[in-house]
Amino acid sequence: MEQKNYIVHPYKFNMWLFILTLIMIFGGLTSAYIVSRSFTPIDRLIHFSLPSVLNFNTFIIIFSSISMQFAVSSAKKGDRMKALYGLLITLVMGILFLAGQWNAFAHLTSGGLPFVDDKRLDNSISFFYMFTGLHGLHIIGAIIALLFGVFKTANNRFKPGGMKITYEVIATFWHFLGLLWIYLYLFLIYNQQ
């Protein structure tokens, strides 16, 4: 079967369109956060410490990008087992990241900062939950993609050239989520000072 030559593979093109959509969504949310805080009286602003587990999560997401890139590099070389190990390590780190996010939610909720509180004028806590929760939902989507890659790799079920493109698309999304997390984390740190 003859392989088509694309300027940009349709899977990659679609992934980049999806990423642009996410950039607009998170850009809009962070802008809304800034506007919302600007209308809150200074004496009613809430300054809260970000849970320390978020430092660990940032470390995890950075190193998961390294393991993901190792998987892509191995897939390009045709080393299926090393590629599989890279995906599995990334998968475990993604699950650890989600557990850390859940821990952060529990920490804030038990500290008297629930998602919704009708006595608060400052919505920064609600925005924190929205930012991290929406990012977490996309991490879950990326974990599903990683599981798909693990299944196909373990069972050697790729068409010619399919392994490389699959890994590249998953990696693009995973790296984007890592960069998005770093942006959100720095944004939250800066806006809580």
Residue whose token pair is 């900062």: 113
For residue 97, give Cα distances in angstroms to 57, 64, 140: 5, 10, 10
pLDDT of residue 99: 97
Residues 51, 108: contact at Cβ < 8 Å?
yes
Q: What pLDDT band is residue 6 in, cutting at 50, 70 and 90?
A: confident
| Structure tokens that stand for 149 in this block | 């890659």
Per-residue pLDDT reduced to its tens digit, 100-140: 999 999 999 988 887 877 777 778 888 899 999 999 999 99
pTM of the model: 0.90
Q: What pLDDT band is residue 48 in, cutting at 50, 70 and 90?
A: confident
Per-residue pLDDT reduced to its tens digit, 64-113: 999 999 999 999 998 999 999 999 999 999 999 999 999 999 999 988 88
Type of residue found at 121: L
CA gap 32, 28 in Å, rounded: 6
pLDDT of residue 1: 42
The full set of domain ranges for the chain reads: 10-40+51-191
**10-40+51-191: which CATH topology?**
Four Helix Bundle (Hemerythrin (Met), subunit A) (1.20.120)
